[in-house]
Structure 1
Amino acid sequence: MTKYKLNNTARSSSEVTLTAYMAGSDGRRDCHIPLDSNQNDHGNQANRNLEAVNKCHFCPHSCEFLQQTDNLAASLAKEQCDKFGLNELKVESLDSVCLCEKYNGGCKLCPRSGHALGHGPRLDHGPRLDHEPGLGHGLGLDQLNGKDSCPACHGTTCGTPYSKSESYPSSSFPYSLGGEEGGGWRGRAARAARGCWSGKTLLRRAPVLAWAPLYTLRSALADLIAGVTVGLTVIPQAIAYAGVAGLPPQYGLYSSFMACFVYTIFGSVKDSAIGPTAIAAILTRENLHGLGPEFAVLLAFLSGCVELLMGILQLGFLIDFISGPVSVGFTSAAAIIIATTQVKDILGLSFPGGKFLQVWTGLYEHIGETRLWDALLGVSCIVVLLLLRKVKDIKVPAPSSPSRAALANTLWFLSTTRNISVVLVCAGLAYYFDTQHQTPFKLTGTVKPGLPEFKLPPFSATVGNHTYTFMEMTSTLSSAIFVVPLLSILENIALAKVFSDGKYVDATQEMLALGVCNIAASLVDSMPVSGALSRGAVNHASGVATTAGGLYTGALVILSLQYFTPYFFYIPKASLAAVIIAAVVFMMELHVFKPIWRTKKVDIIPAVVTFVACLVTRLELGIVIGIAVNLMFLLYASARPTVRVSRATSMSGVEYLVAVVDRSLSFPSAEYVRRALRKAAQKDINVPLVLDATHVQAADFTAARGIKSLIEDFDSLGQALIFYNVKPSIASVFRGVKPKQFVHCACRAELDEVLSSIAAKLNVERQAAAQQQQQPSAS
């Protein structure tokens, strides 16, 4: 009786080892046989019904192993063994036999000789010959001899050992360890449904449940310090970002508390400080068209719905289409545009227009109207903010002593709270001048006091004498409904990766968290929110322990809305503009262009195109143009694969050409590959051409038609075309268009045999032609 056991030691979940213990075996020597975990479903049902006495479990052919050993180990006839998805099969006490699985004419399992294909001599474990030129790894073979043949393969071993890199049809054994439920779509649906309600999934989708039971007083103190520090940073920024978005100042504060509370529950990145950001603000401004706050609140709601849907559908791969150069061009252009829109407030000017070219045109036309005190205050604030940013980097000698440690902490706190400090000082200065009945600065003005009303986002809005319906509002927002959430996700995930310390960032969870944050924030009149890199840096530097730091940030914003909004009246606009400029100037990643130039110069093109397009057009249109240019480069690379052609000689002395295509065949490259192979073959029309498809991982219908035309071209020239190492799935694609002939060699021994037959046929034709020439001359 044969017994089996599963051995999962030191293996991944996708690898299972089956060990067969033979009845009456003396030793316990294992024979390792590689087996692809993705097995072919074709014939599985028939195989399960075969008699184990004279049939091999893996293939419908009789297995001589069973007849020679009178043992059922290789048949795996026990029903439960059909449920194992195998990656490796370890069979004990098998010295001269194998387990075989016939596929495409070849044996996939053979511990002695690799695959069995065709009817050639078996492959012994002799020394490996060097690869012949031009054939790469796929054409190396072991030394052939004519000794014992494989009992299970009927002496049909081939010259190329099985490699795990080779591809086989991707279907697995029909059952898993879960019983009947493991097979078919019903089983998969049942497992997915159970997974959605499992404790592990709940902890992953609500991270607060993971860290709350372990929350300590020390963590609470760290979160309190970080939350208050971020709150002091976000209050002036929120008021300023509201101006960037073209909204009343209170809407910036409305955007700064609800999302913090929600992210505490669903957020997975402790350093992420959710709230209004510069990029979200400028995108909101460009898509509001001056129609009022209702459109901004609806944009936040729709952005949240899109982000939530993307998280549910796991569409994080869309962010992968925004490459590094495109992202650099976009963020740099956005920073310049944001800074440009604040130059008006720095100089105390007022004129319409918020686009890059419009602002600079207006500055040129109204430069004579510059308010001196506003300009002095704005420039001074920028200088002070930049200097205070560097204060934290001052090295304090002997920081271990209490006094020096206190000094270092003071410098750090002064640098971190620089925004609120500058704004408070400027507001106090403006208040002093107001008591003297002087107004040298343009002030923020009245900020609506109190908390916003908790209500559904507006699904209709009245602007002037026209009432916009929900459909009209969404039509007005147009592409912003998709661009704003996509870029918000990109910004938040970029922030998460910066402070993750190499840990895995769950992009799906961040999409879900941002979606819920925006939907919840829209209930309190918020504009779109995301994680801000500048506040994230403050959060990280403050030593935040968990996402609970957002609770204190949100609470501080609520206090300011409830009690301090009357004092916001005196904040000079120039000081808020200085806060924005000092923050976004570090978003410009122009320094990245130099390493891009050193690595791959062509990547400069999409970066520059994105940068210029964002400046002269709209931001969302600019990034779409940059992505399109980047995709054009990718498509061009796929349309022009490298085709290397070299000469080689078979073991029987037949010369032939070897053509290696270095990537998959698809419709853009089909005609190019056909022309390249025809051109290479025309140089030596009497030599067969072997197309090595080792690197061809996929092919489509257009490529198959191109191969069919290529076969016809070679047939008309009378030149042999042989396909080597074509994967079964790709071979079926080529055969689907019914070519005139498809000569395919799956191993080196078969290739040598075909080349020899072609050479013999050519010799016969040449001799016949020579005889025909001699007969007329003799006559």
Structure 2
Amino acid sequence: MSARTKQNSAFSALFTPKLVTVLREGYGFDAFKADLISGLTVAIIALPLSMAIAIASGVPPERGLYTAIVGGFLVSLLGGSRFQIGGPAGAFIVLVFATVQVHGVEGLLLATFLSGFFLLAVGFLRLGTFIKYVPYPVTVGFTSGIAVIILASQLKDLFGLTLAGGEPGPFIPKLKALAEAAPSFNLAALLVAAGSIAIIVGLRRIRPGWPGFLIAVICATLAAWLFDLPVETIGTRFGGIPQMLPAPHLPDLSLDKIIAVLPAALSFTLLGGIESLLSAVVADSMTGRRHRSNCELVAQGVANIGSALFGGICVTGTIARTAANVRAGARGPVSGMLHSLFLLAFMLVAAPLARFIPLAALAGILAVVAWNMAEKHQFAALLRSSRGDAVVLLITFLLVVFRDLTEGILVGFGLGALLFLHRMSEAVRVEHGIASITDRPDNGEEPYAPDIATDDTVVVYRISGAFFFGAAAAVGAALDRIGGKPRAYVIDISSVLMLDSTAAATIEGFARKARQAEASVYLVGANPQIRKLLRTHGLRPPHLRFYGALKDAVAAARRQSQAS
């Protein structure tokens, strides 16, 4: 097989949509029936949720439906996960709301459009693998922070408050404005919201298979209509929703506008990639399947471009709806495609009825979503686990709530990376002496002990762990502390997990000092990659000799010391 053919085969394996894989495996009527039922189930969940997320994001409710219909269909059609459900997500509420406040809806559409191309680039450059390296405390911190912000954003509609100057975006000013608006409290709105929450929570306990969100919205709407409750509805605020998808159109692509929304687009890209791959991992854990991360990111990119063209907001994989899809018995991506078609049918048929839905009921839905998003048990466990993890968690959480979501993720990731490097550097060991001059058994590391070294002219050291820039200074200091004037040094690195250029430079510096002292250096256990790296730093015979076995290196070192 030629190299070009191998490259094409590898590309195909990475970017073939799961829909193609499912169809190749054989897709019959039973599978279609299962996907039909699961698609309808998820659509019933997504219908009120998509509108609620859109309203909380500062845009009309129909834009949430456009997102779920167009974006959700493309995610399932092209995605690298069998069960992923795409659509508007609660995690984006903060970013979308802030973007609308600064750049308006047209700016939001442009940012979503650009983020689609960025996600395409991330996928095709095969960078999706790196997104999984976001530390767990960062994930829990920003998810919990988003939950707090979502709940705060729903307090206005939960209590039926009237804000004279509009609702501020930042957390503290928002709470102050809500407190000042407390005299406008609407008991009817609170009762509708509380009733919706009670129905959702109650049904989850006694009838978990029932669509609690939709039932709560229907009951709240009927109650508001029958009793003529003085509560704000979709109709009173937005005038209802249209019955058709709009014609696709490009957003404003002027250079000035692109530059203005670029930070928002990058934030959408980062959060969208993390959220969608986390959702795919959840689906994998529930089904035992494996998703194609880079293919999934490409699909997310196409879905965001498509959503923006039809007036929708950011698309990503949605964990709760994806899990519901799996639990409903989905067999493959057809379920997600059908979920979008069902939503389109609902919009065509029932759009006029949506204007009667109380906003307090949708606020109740998002309050439940926020409660579920707040990873309370994981948050408490990380606070108890270690001081480093607790610091990363709290700083991420506080920055997300009080500063900015992207800033929280980036700072948290940076702190998590530093914490990891610190822990890895502490795991490196430098041991002096030899336990024996025979090879160690494969199933254990025999301890080295300085007091049983057999030859003062030959010093044996073993380095174990990850020998990288974070540990290079400590290892270099340990090597420099060698006493006496030995004629040869044997350094066993067979237990080194990885070695980088800084570590290679440290060994080169030690070898140079040894040459100045007229001593030889023997390196044991270097694999071909490490040998190649060391040679690029000038470490080759006669300045440094490579051996595969410790006994051979010690024997050669003794012969050299006796000869000199």
Which range, TM-score by smaller chain?
Answer: 0.7 to 0.9
SS at match of 1:423: helix
Matches of 1:757 and 1:270, distance apart in 2: 64
Deviation of 1:246 after TM superposition, in Å, equals 0.7
Whether the 8 Å contact between 1:480 and 1:620 is mirrored in structure 2 is no
Q: Is the 8 A contact 1:661 1:696 kept in 2?
A: yes
> Which of 438, 455, 459 is residue 252 of structure 2 equivalent to?
459
**Residues 17-36 of structure 1 mapped to structure 2, 5 A cutoff:** none
SS at 2:221 equivalent: helix
> Alpha-carbon deviation of 1:554?
2.5
The answer to whether residue 473 in structure 2 is matched with residue 658 in structure 1 is no
- Aligned residue in 2 for 1:425: 219
Matches within 5 A, 1:308-319: 308-319=120-131
**Letter aligned with residue 432 of structure 1:** L
Cα gap change, 1:551/1:320 in structure 2, threshold over 3 Å: closer, same or farther? closer
Deviation at 1:585, TM superposition (A): 0.9
Distance of 2:216 and 2:535 partners within structure 1:
74
Pick the aligned partner of 1:691 from 480, 491, 503. 491
> Which amino acid in 2 is paired with 1:483?
S
Counterpart of 1:162?
none
Instruction: Tell me the amino acid that sits aligned with residue 536 of structure 1.
Output: T
Structure 2 counterpart of 1:623, which letter? I
Mapped pair 1:521 → 2:307: yes
| 1:372 is aligned to 2:173 | no
Which is worse superposed, 478-487 or 686-695?
Answer: 686-695
* Contact 2:468 2:503 (8 Å CA) reproduced: yes
Residue matched to 2:176:
361
Distance 1:635 1:209 in 2: 40
Deviation at residue 372 of structure 1 after TM alignment: 2.0
2:207 to 373, 389, 392: 392
Are residues 1:475 and 2:287 paired?
no
Residue 540 (structure 1) aligns with: 326
Question: 2:141·2:379 contact (CA, 8 Å) conserved in 1?
Answer: no
CA distance in 2, matches of 1:673, 1:209: 50
SS, match of residue 257 in structure 1? helix
Change (3 A) 1:529 1:603: same
- Decide whether aligned partners of structure 1 residues 231 and 757 sit closer, same or farther in structure 2, where only a CA change above 3 A counts: closer
Residue 228 (str. 1) matches residue 40 (str. 2)? yes
CA distance in 2, matches of 1:189, 1:344: 60
Q: 1:532-574 deviations in whole A, cap 9, x for unaligned?
A: 2222233223222332233443333223433433322222111
State the percentage of identical aligned residues: 24
1:592 to 359, 378, 382: 378
Counterpart residue identity of residue 581, structure 1: A
Residue identity matched to 1:451: M
Taking the aligned partners of 2:125 and 2:218, their CA distance within structure 1 comes to 46
Aligned partner of 1:610 in structure 2 is 396
Question: 1:436-515 to 2 correspondence within 5 Å?
Answer: 440-445=230-235, 446-460=239-253, 469=254, 471-500=255-284, 501-515=287-301
**Does the Cα contact within 8 Å between 1:242 and 1:249 map onto a contact in 2?**
yes
| TM alignment of 1:675-686, pairs within 5 A | 675-679=477-481, 681-682=482-483, 684=484
Instruction: Determine if contact 1:711/1:741 at 8 Å carries over to the other structure.
Output: no
- Name the aligned partner's letter for residue 249 of structure 2: L
SS at match of 1:691: strand
2:99 is aligned with what amino acid?
A: N
User: Residue 347 of structure 1 contacts residue 371 of structure 1 at CA under 8 Å; is this kept in 2?
Assistant: yes
Q: In the alignment, which residue of structure 1 is the partner of 2:95?
A: 283
Runs (5+) with no aligned partner, structure 1: 1-177, 183-187, 394-411, 461-468, 763-779
2 CA distance for matches of 1:211 and 1:335? 38
SS in 2 for 1:694: strand
Q: What CA deviation, in whole Å up to 9, does each residue of 1:135-157 have, x standing for no partner?
A: xxxxxxxxxxxxxxxxxxxxxxx
**Structure 1 residue 624 displacement after superposition:** 0.8
In 2 relative to 1, CA 645–388 (structure 1 residues): closer, same or farther, beyond 3 Å? same
**What SS does the corresponding residue of 1:505 show, helix, strand or coil?**
coil
* Residue 744 (structure 1) aligns with: 545
Q: Which has the higher helix share?
A: 2
Higher deviation after alignment, 558-567 or 500-509: 558-567
Whether the aligned pair in 1 keeps the contact of 2:19 and 2:82 (CA below 8 Å) is: no
- Aligned residue for 2:490, secondary structure, equals strand
CA contact (8 A) 1:307 1:512 kept: yes
Separation of aligned partners in 1, 2:523 and 2:147: 55
CA distance in 2, matches of 1:474, 1:363: 34
| 1:735-774 paired onto structure 2 within 5 Å | 736-738=536-538, 742-746=543-547, 747-757=549-559, 760=562
Which position in structure 2 is the counterpart of 1:300? Answer: 112
Structure 1 residues 337-352: aligned runs within 5 Å: 337-349=149-161, 350=163, 351-352=166-167
Over aligned residue pairs, what C-alpha RMSD do you find?
Answer: 3.1
Change (3 A) 1:703 1:654: same
The answer (yes or no) to whether the contact 1:329–1:610 under 8 Å persists in 2 is: yes
The AA in structure 1 aligned to 2:185 is T
Distance 1:734 1:259 in 2: 50
- 1:308 and 1:512 in contact (8 A); partners too: yes
Q: Does 1:623 align with 2:416?
A: no
Q: Which TM-score applies when normalising by structure 1?
A: 0.63
Aligned to 1:207, what secondary structure does the other structure show? helix
Is the counterpart of residue 205 in structure 1 residue 26 in structure 2?
Answer: no
> Alpha-carbon deviation of 1:580?
0.7
| Paired residues, number | 538
Task: Report the Cα distance in structure 2 between the residues aligned to 1:536 and 1:194, rounded to whole angstroms.
Answer: 30
- In 2, Cα distance between the equivalents of 1:555 and 1:627? 38
Match for 1:752: what amino acid? V
Q: Which has the larger radius of gyration?
A: 1
Give the equivalent residue in structure 1 for 2:440.
none
Report the AA paired with residue 382 of structure 1.
Answer: I
* CA distance in structure 2 between the partners assigned to 1:239 and 1:515 by the alignment: 22
Question: How big is each residue's C-alpha offset from its partner over 1:681-715, in whole Å with a ceiling of 9 and x where there is no partner?
Answer: 13x55585432122346555544443343234445
Per the alignment, do residues 707 and 372 of structure 1 end up closer, same or farther by CA in structure 2, a change over 3 Å counting? same
Query: Which region of structure 1 is more displaced relative to structure 2, 302-311 or 632-641?
Result: 632-641
| 2: CA distance, partners of 1:698 / 1:191 | 29
Q: Is the 8 Å Cα contact of residues 96 and 108 (structure 2) preserved in structure 1? A: yes
Deviations 1:695-738 (A, max 9, x none): 34655554444334323444566776543334455445445555
Q: Any conservation in 2 of the 1:433–1:440 contact (CA below 8 Å)?
A: no
Unpaired segments of 5 or more residues in structure 2?
438-452
User: Residues 345-364 of structure 1, C-alpha deviation per residue, up to 9 Å, x if partnerless?
Assistant: 10112342123222222233
1:227, 1:551 within 8 Å by CA — same for their partners in 2? Answer: yes
Report if aligned partners of 2:384, 2:390 keep a CA contact under 8 Å in 1: no
**Residues 672 and 520 of structure 1, relative CA distance in 2, 3 Å threshold:** same
Shifted more, 657-666 versus 370-379: the winner is 657-666
In structure 2, relative to structure 1, the CA distance for the partners of 1:758 and 1:641 (3 Å cut) is farther
**Structure 2 length normalisation: TM-score?**
0.85
Which of 196, 214, 228 pairs up with 1:381? 196
Separation in structure 2 between the aligned mates of residue 728 and residue 562 of structure 1, nearest angstrom: 64
Alpha-carbon shift at residue 241 of structure 1 (Å): 0.7
> Whole-Å Cα distance in 1 between the matches of residues 417 and 391 of structure 2?
12
Instruction: Provide the rounded CA distance (Å) in 1 between the counterparts of 2:282 and 2:320.
Output: 12
Distance in 2, Cα, partners of 1:537 & 1:756? 65
**Distance change in 2, residues 1:710/1:487 (3 Å):** same
Displacement of 1:617: 1.0
Distance 2:396 2:136 in 1: 11
Contact 1:274 1:531 in 2 (8 A): yes
Aligned counterpart, 2:71: 259
